Structure 1
């Protein structure tokens, strides 16, 4: 008796989850707060000085991510992601050798930022978008939920490693985790169905020939000239500035309020758990509802969470803050991927994603720096927290002006780039 086999696209999702667990966000951003005080204590640097290293790393990633995206468009997700992860793991291990030299500290993080670019969501989002059309939102949400798993697990692993082995060996442990995880990614990640003689969604075309959704859409130049691109980019820059700024400093903020480091790390891990819920929940809703409205819904949570942090949250209230902020973090990356597929198509997905993710990285870079500078200058995070709440409100407003989904086939043939201003509440099937 012939048994049914799981659609290979779901294996691609599983490989993407593994890749996302050990990606730039969980490894660099979400564990950085664990290393912040040990680095400050050993070298005598202020938090703003230490935070600048992460800013440099993310800025470097922002600069090179569009180039990596172009490389993915030409070579394929698998060919870029696997060697990049191995190099990223070795780079993280090398941080255990850092000397007491601030300039070398910044140079090391610039190199790490460059090595992290292939381990961003770009290759996985490209692969998943090629494998799925009808269930694209859910598939993206599940694959990007790996960031949530990483954000929940890696800070606790880093905290235990720092406590047991010191921060230097903790970096070695983190690097080894990345190298081992790269093997899991290599196991099942494939670029697109046509490479295996399969079809998106496991649905054969009328001609019986593999369909390539990566051939439909705008080139990067036309996307960059559109109003839609810059509305989306500005909204996610502001969201990344606020949400990731709070996430990186969440542990130091709580310990400043008298919360023990171990408990603070456990509370911060709720961000990762909520991130998973946000990823999967946003992905599911994207298949049924208008994507900008889904985006606004998931941006409202961090507004409330940041305001609660400003009010002096600890204990249970801090857990609620972590959950609300985590929901926003959870929706970001897969929302960007889905919005690109719906508004610009997959023809130049990697490069367009690279530019938008670069803007997202700029926010991620400057958010923690602003938090660190605010704390250094005033001894408190309060002023920056208020600023971040305002940023999230503006991001919500920008997303309401994005407009309805365009006809990608018509745009590709040369009609106007900017979609009309009226909204569509449905139309979840991708062109």
Structure 2
């Protein structure tokens, strides 16, 4: 195929992006299951919320810590192989949960297997794909792919909640396994690692890029970490994104449904509210991607974190047995802000760290999941000991305000870090 395409022909980058979107949606089903299944598992096995939250924390930790190695693996082995294997691992881990009888098995399956599988794709996959296939529209495409996770949550949450209540949690777990497995052939046959593989250039590029893997995946990931750790902006991004994970996946994503259930709200209703977050997250993330192509990403992060912190400080007063208007306002607002932080964070990684940007984002994303893991366990233990989640909501709100301050600090270091990155090479 020719490296030039007619302006009337759909660029192959859009096909690749659509396949990636479907893959991310397919894997997102598991992201919806912890909040839905905490109460059914507690009822059947008698496990405490702290014990179940530990399995979620292991999953979130591995999901994050494996991300930078996955980014390097994608450069070494290709996105198609890594993502196909990751989806298969998610299917195996989720499917085998139907046979578990002890809490350590929950940790092994939910935590280890699915954590490694989901950590091999998700946001790192989206960042790598947009970096390879797009020069024009990078921010928008990153926003759309990021929203794929929310779309998966939107599709699966009400369905899984209904299944868990009417047919049992095992049916819900098998549904997630089947959805992830069904996407594997699509990825294998339609996804391509680079435009140059097809004789094309990235959308908006004027010439092809020659890519040569440098050493092993693990070695490269660690080299990038050593280089990036010398820069203050890296640590501001890491700390801010850790708080981002704590306030989304770790706290709201894991504990909103059981917290609402504590106030008398039916689990299916609470799951539907969380799905509404997914609806508005699509709009918020795509809009954030559009803005990150036009507005200083540091300003965007500062505003996003500040607004999120203020909303969490009022959340404990909003829980009730019904979905009243004030709670709906919170859900809509939180949805718009849910992962709107991702496109500007990716943009900053690319701007500050250049060719290492995707792997650097893998490390930044690792902090996101470590923060989520800590919040998931701490919130569960807080509920076990205090009888409510109030302290967890207030603590997360204060941390988000701190993240806003750190994001503002990035503005004083970007130019200096950019020069240092060029010198380091």
Q: Do these two structures clear the TM 0.5 threshold for a shared fold by scoring above it? A: yes
The question of whether the paired residues in 1 share the 8 Å contact of 2:71 and 2:124 is answered with yes
Q: Closer, same or farther in 2 for the Cα pair 1:369/1:409, shift >3 Å?
A: closer
Determine whether 1:355 maps to 2:366: no
More deviation, 310-319/125-134: 310-319
- 1:66 and 1:187, CA in 2 relative to 1: closer, same or farther beyond 3 A? same
Counterpart contact for 2:81–2:188, Cα < 8 Å: no
Matches within 5 A, 1:190-339: 190-205=192-207, 210-211=208-209, 219-244=224-249, 245-314=251-320, 315=323, 316-339=325-348
Shift of 1:350: 4.2
The 8 Å contact of residues 72 and 350 in structure 1, kept in 2 or not, is answered as: no
1:125-204 pair list within 5 angstroms = 125-204=127-206
Contact 2:61–2:369 under 8 Å retained in 1 = yes
What value does the CA root-mean-square deviation take over the aligned residues?
2.5
* 2:389 equivalent to 1:384: no
Q: Return closer, same or farther for 1:13/1:118 CA change in 2, 3 Å cut-off.
A: same
Task: Name the stretch that deviates more: 170-179 or 120-129.
Answer: 120-129
User: Secondary structure of the residue that 2:184 maps to in structure 1?
Assistant: helix
TM-score (norm 2): 0.89
The answer to whether 1:365 aligns with 2:373 is: yes
When normalised by structure 1's length, the TM-score is 0.87
Give how far 1:126 is off. 0.3
Q: Distance in 2 between matches of 1:405 and 1:102?
A: 46
Matches of 1:82 and 1:401 in 2, distance apart?
A: 39
Question: How far apart, CA to CA, are the structure 2 residues paired with 1:410 and 1:194?
Answer: 30
1:301–1:324 Cα contact (<8 Å) kept:
no
- Answering whether residue 51 of structure 2 is matched by residue 42 of structure 1, we say no
Question: How many residues of Structure 1 are paired with residues of Structure 2 in the alignment?
Answer: 407
Confirm or deny: 8 A CA contact 1:130 1:212 kept in the other structure: no
Structure 1 runs of 4+ with >6 Å offset = none
User: How far did 1:376 drift?
Assistant: 0.8
Alpha-carbon deviations, 1:7-57, whole Å to 9, x = none?
11112221221122133xx33443211100000000011111111110011
Report if the CA contact (8 A) 1:301-1:327 is conserved. no
Q: State the 1:213 CA deviation.
A: 8.6
3-state SS in 1 of match to 2:340: helix
Contact 2:134 2:203 in 1 (8 A): yes
**In structure 1, C-alpha distance between the alignment counterparts of 2:343 and 2:13, rounded to whole Å:** 17
Structure 1: unaligned runs, 5 residues or longer? 418-431
- Report SS of the residue matched to 1:112: helix
User: Who is 2:93 aligned against?
Assistant: 91
Question: Taking structure 1 as reference, are residues 72 and 250 closer, same or farther at Cα in structure 2, changes over 3 Å only?
Answer: same
| Counterpart Cα distance in 2 of 1:230 and 1:61 | 20
Change (3 A) 1:241 1:333: same
Distance 1:97 1:259, change over 3 A: same
Question: In 2, are the aligned partners of 1:61 and 1:114 still within 8 Å (CA)?
Answer: yes
Aligned with 1:395 (options 375, 383, 403): 403
Contact 1:78 1:123 in 2 (8 A): no
SS, match of residue 96 in structure 2: helix
Cα separation, 1, equivalents of 2:399 and 2:212: 34
Deviation, 1:200, is 2.2
Query: Following TM superposition, by how much is the alpha carbon of 1:214 offset from its aligned partner in structure 2, in angstroms?
Result: 9.2
Distance of aligned partners of 1:65 and 1:193 in 2 relative to their CA distance in 1, 3 Å threshold = same
Deviation at residue 219 of structure 1 after TM alignment? 4.2
Matching residue of 1:427: none
Summarize deviations over 1:102-146 as a string: whole Å, max 9, x none: 222222222321232213221232011121123211111112111
Aligned position for 1:420: none
**CA-CA distance at 1:353 after TM superposition:** 2.4
Deviation at 1:380, TM superposition (A): 0.9
Q: What is the CA distance between 1:295 and its match in structure 2?
A: 1.6
> How much has 1:290 moved relative to structure 2?
0.5
Report what 1:424 is aligned to. Answer: none
Distance 1:52 1:255 in 2: 20
User: What is the CA–CA distance in structure 2 between the aligned matches of 1:235 and 1:300, rounded to whole Å?
Assistant: 11
2:78 to 76, 79, 83: 76
Structure 1 residues 64 and 393: CA distance shift in structure 2, 3 A: same
> How many angstroms does 1:233 deviate by?
0.5
Q: 1:376 to 1:131 in 2, by over 3 A?
A: same
